[in-house]
Every structure is written in structure tokens, then in C-alpha cells.
């Protein structure tokens, strides 16, 4: 993934449910979970990569294993309409400064909604097998379809 914005910070490091089952001291009083480390007053004005997520934040976990098919993004066709961003149920479309940058494969479950709502011709997002390499998928991208008259 060549998004550039999500490379360094703590994220997607743990398979959901595979975290170490430590014992007694890790149990928080009253089952309370804090979402961030440090002062998070400004979170509404911070991008994910600017935030200090706590280990308890599901942002730091991954559900990638749920997927059997995945959306692949083709930058060359995309018009940055943000349909995929607004309707993604898994906060997995990475948009910055009104531009679609790519897919967050740690949080994407492969539902395919983004592909369905993509308005370009051909679509700028298509579903491929999870095993398919990105370059391979892009190489197989279909040509522009002629409009079917109903």
C-alpha cells in the first residue's frame, strides 16, 4: 500500500482476539477502556496518524482475516467523489484533503459496498481474491463499458 500516511504509527498490529490473555492486573476497574494515551482533547481535528491510540482502541487491531475477497483501488480512474468514503462501514477508505488515497486493509472486511457505490466507468474499485497481488489486479482492470440502454 502506497498511502504514505499510515506507515509508522501503532496500528493493525494485533489479530483481533489473539491478544495475549494476561491475567489480573490488566483488568481495568469497572471494565472502563480509554481510547487514547495522553491528552486527546483535539481528536476531532486530528487525522488517525496524528493520534495517540491506546492499545484498547480497536484501531490498533485488525480484522483482515475476515476477508476472502478484497477491494483493489485504481487511482488512475478515480474522480475522488468520496462515495466509497461516506458509505464504508469499516472506516477503511483513507481520504485526506478530499483525495481518496487507498484502502485500509487492516480494517476492511471485504463487504464490497465501496465497489457498488463507485460511479466511474470502469469502476475505480473492484473486488479481487484476497490472494491476488495488487499489480496483478491492476493489470487485469477492465476497459470502459458502453452504456447499456434500458
Partner 1 sequence: MAKEFELNEVEVWDGNYAASQALRQAQVDVVAAYPITPSTPIVEGYGSYVANGYIDGEFVMVESEHGAMSGCVGASAAGGRVATATSSQGFALMTEVLYQASGMRLPIVLTVVNRALASPLNVRGDHSDMYLGRDSGWIQLDAFNPQEAYDLTLCAFRIGEHLDVRLPVMVHQDGFTTSHKAQNVTPLKDDVAYKFVGDYVPVNDMLDFSRPVTHGAQTEEDWHFEHKARQHKALMDSRTVIDEVLSEFKSLTGREYNRVESYYMEDAEVAIVALGSSVETAALAAKQLREEEGIKAGVVAPRCFRPFPYDLIRETLDRPTLKAVCCMDKSAPGGAMGALFNEVSAAAYTTASRPMITNYIYGLGGRDFAVEEAKRIFKEQKAHADAGHITTPIQQFSGVRGPRLGFFETRRG
Partner 2 sequence: MAITSVKNLKEFSTANDRFEGSHLLCPGCAHSMIVRELMNATDDNLVVASSTGCLEVCTAVYPYTSWDTSWIHIGFENSATAASCAEAMYKARKKKGTLPNPDAPVKFVAFGGDGATYDIGFQWLSGAMERGHDFTYICLDNENYANTGGQRSSSTPIGASTSTAQAGTHSYGKTQKKKDIVAIMAAHGAPYVAQLAPNKWKSMAKGFQKALETEGPCFINTVSACTTEWKFDPKDTISITDLATDSLMFPIYEIINGTELNILYRPKNIIPVEDYLGAQGRYRHLFKPENRHVIERIQKDIDEKWEYLQRREEARV
The residues of the shown chain that bind partner 1, judged by CB under 8 A, are 21, 23-24, 27, 29-36, 39-41, 43, 56
Cα distance between residue 9 and residue 52, in whole Å: 8
In the complex with partner 1, the residue whose CB is nearer, 44 or 131, is: 44
From the list 1-9, 74-82, 136-144, the region that binds partner 2 by CB under 8 A is: 74-82
Residue recorded with cell 476472502: 68
Residue 19's H or E segment, with its range, is none
Cell of 47: 487525522
**Residue whose C-alpha is closest to residue 78's, from 121, 48, 142:** 121
Length of the chain as a residue count: 150
Q: How many angstroms separate the CA atoms of 145 and 59, rounded?
A: 38
- Shortest Å, Cβ 127 to partner 2: 8
CB of 32 to partner 2, least distance (A): 10
Residue in this structure with the C-alpha cell 474499485, named with its chain if needed: 125
Residue 115's binding partner out of partner 2, partner 1, none, with CB under 5 to 8 Å set by partner kind: partner 2
Take residue 58 and report the three cell numbers written for it: 480497536
Closest contact distance (angstroms) between CB of 11 and partner 2 is: 10
80 interacts with partner 2 by CB under 8 A = yes
Contacts with partner 2 by CB under 8 A lie at 16, 19, 26, 31, 33, 35-36, 40-41, 43-48, 51, 55-63, 66, 80-83, 85-92, 95, 97-98, 104, 106-113, 115-117, 127
Amino acid at each position: 500500500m502506497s498511502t504514505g500516511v499510515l506507515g509508522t504509527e501503532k496500528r493493525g498490529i494485533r489479530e483481533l482476539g489473539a491478544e495475549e490473555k494476561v491475567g489480573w492486573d490488566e483488568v481495568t476497574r469497572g471494565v472502563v477502556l480509554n481510547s487514547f494515551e495522553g491528552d486527546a482533547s483535539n481528536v476531532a481535528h486530528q487525522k488517525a496518524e496524528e493520534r495517540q491510540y491506546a492499545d484498547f482502541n480497536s484501531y490498533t487491531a485488525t480484522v483482515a482475516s475476515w476477508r476472502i475477497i478484497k477491494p483493489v483501488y485504481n487511482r488512475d480512474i478515480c474522480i475522488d467523489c468520496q462515495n466509497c468514503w461516506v458509505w464504508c462501514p469499516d472506516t477503511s477508505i483513507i481520504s485526506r484533503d478530499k483525495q481518496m488515497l487507498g484502502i485500509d486493509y487492516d480494517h476492511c472486511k471485504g463487504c464490497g459496498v465501496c465497489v457498488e457505490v463507485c460511479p466511474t466507468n470502469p469502476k475505480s474499485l473492484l473486488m479481487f481474491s484476497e490472494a491476488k497481488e495488487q499489480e496483478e489486479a491492476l493489470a487485469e482492470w477492465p476497459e470502459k463499458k458502453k452504456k447499456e440502454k434500458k
